[in-house]
Amino acid sequence: MFSILTRTLRLVAARWPQLLAWYLTGWLARYLLIELAAFFGATSALMGLLLMPLAILARLGSYIAMFLVLRPALPGFVSLRDKGEDAVDRTTAGTADAPRQRLYDILLVSILPFFAFYAAWQLLKDDTQAYAQAALKNIDFFAGSAPNSVLSIEFSPVSVGVIVLAFAGRFLIKRYSDRLPRWTNLVAVYLEAVWVYLTLFLITNYQQGFQTWLADRQAMRWLDDTRQAIVGVFAPFETIYNAVQWAINETGGLVLLPLAWLTLAGIVYGRALAAPRVRLREPRNRLYTGARTRFNALPPAVSNRLKDLGADWAGRWRPFADALLLIWRAGVVPMGIFILGYTVLESASAWLDFAAVRIIGPHDLGSWWMNFDQILSFVVDVIVEPLRLCLVAAAYNFCLVKLEERREVAAAATGTAGSGGTAGTADARGSVTA
């Protein structure tokens, strides 16, 4: 159970220099790409925002590289791989492009969940603000040709058209990848990042307006009046309501953030390992049967394209579902220990900042701290981020160890129980039917 913490320390001792090198590489590439986007964004907001996905891809690439550096030091992964579970290695065995293909697959499947995670925890907003500040420095406001805003991208035919073209281009490259040159894989990764980034950017821009619109709806006012009426009759309801609201808000930061990191590790490692698969039982009702019948009646050209789109969309989320399934089966108590360790590590950043400020002592706010605070935050991140990745990788290693134990138990049960062999084999493969 506490092997997650001990494994974390072993990973830090074994892989710290490589992790630090990859983190610094990703940070430098992200900084330079934001500056490049700001240079072009000073004259064209759309051009700047088309380059911004490259900055986030640089950070994603550095995290993927850090996870892959840790992979050989994970006993759970090595054990399953040695038993023939390395799915990607089997399909690309004997080809010189196997490592490159694996990295391409990992990047492509990680973009959507990573960008969504990036936006949910305000990291997308931070990068966008850094881009806007840098772009404003490059604008000559006295030239008369400066744009109204370096972020002036709204929901319009142009922005929607760019998103649709990027999505369609990525879909076509994936569909005809066997006929296209290998360098088009990089174009597919970029197009995937573009349509996801612009979609999240527009959603973030209109989120505040949507919340204001929703708060003005009659239904929301009715709910508020109902809550006030209940408080008038039962006064402790207000305390209970506030406590539940506080718990929900705190759960987002304390629980969902570490689980999101662990899911990202599952997506990265799952591309080179046969992951547990979720199989959905086909529903049996009139609505589904009627829809299925009407779909089968469509012309083959239309139905085939719709199937391709559906398979492409489902393929984006299948690694995410597989990782969640593996985490769920690891057990509540070990995951609680992981979340506790992550929370302690997260709070360590604030404590390191505080300790550094106390050690440095008082200085002038304008001439010292306005310039030095960013350097201090960077140094703290350099210390904490490799530790965070080691903790996440150690927790995922625990999930893989538990998976192997379940398979061994199921294999033993299959060998001793005659009629129960089929069920045992299915569970040994880690699949589940919902």
Asked if pLDDT for residue 349 goes beyond 50, the answer is yes
Contacts with 98 (C-beta within 8 Å, 6 or more apart), sequence order = 88, 89, 92
Query: Residue 195: CB partners within 8 Å, gap ≥ 6?
Result: 162, 163, 164, 166, 167, 170
Q: Does 124 map to a domain?
A: yes
Residue 168 lies in a domain: no
Sign for the CA dihedral angle at 344, 112, 397, 98 comes to negative
Domain count, the chain: 1
Provide the residue count of the chain. Answer: 434
The three-state secondary structure class of 279 is strand
Q: Tokens 């699949």 identify what position?
A: 431
- What's the rounded Cα separation, in Å, for the pair 290 and 307? 17
Any idea what DSSP says for residue 367? I
Q: Which residues contact 113 (CB under 8 A, 6 or more apart)?
A: 263, 264, 267, 320
The angle subtended at Cα 354 by Cα 353 and Cα 360, nearest 5°, is: 90
371 domain residue, yes or no? yes
Strands (E), 223-293: 278-279
Could you report the per-residue pLDDT of 81-110, keeping only the tens digit for each? 666 544 444 433 444 445 555 677 788 888
In this prediction, residue 281 has a pLDDT band, given cuts at 50, 70 and 90, of low
In angstroms, the CA 75 to CA 146 distance is 57
> Per the domain annotation, does 11 fall within a domain?
yes
Query: According to the model, what pLDDT value does residue 306 have?
Result: 62
Q: Which residue's entry shows tokens 């140094």?
A: 379
Residues of 165-201 as b/e, b for ≥16 C-beta within 10 angstroms? Answer: ebbebbbebbeeeeeeeeebbeebbbbbbbbbbbbbb
Of residues 320, 339, 321, 317, the one with CA closest to residue 398: 339
Contact call for residues 14 and 7 (beta carbons, < 8 A):
no
| 165 inside domain | no
Helix (H) or strand (E) holding 311: helix 300-328
Provide the domain limits for residue 269. 3-152+217-433
| pLDDT greater than 60 at residue 416 | no
Q: Quick one: pLDDT at residue 325?
A: 77
What pLDDT sits at residue 252? 66
- Say which DSSP state 433 is in: E
Residue 200 counted as domain residue: no
Cα–Cα distance list, 213 to 201, 220, 223 (Å): 19, 10, 15
Which helix (DSSP H) or strand (DSSP E) does residue 298 occupy?
none
Q: Which residue did the predictor score with more confidence, 7 or 119?
A: 7
Q: Could you report the per-residue pLDDT of 175-207, keeping only the tens digit for each?
A: 888 888 888 888 988 998 998 888 888 887 777
End-to-end CA distance of the chain: 28
* Residue recorded with tokens 């994936």: 174
Residue 427 has pLDDT above 60, yes or no: no
- Report yes or no on 318 lying in a domain: yes
Tokens standing for 183? 């360098």
For residue 173, is it within any domain? Answer: no
Q: What is the mean pLDDT of the chain?
A: 76
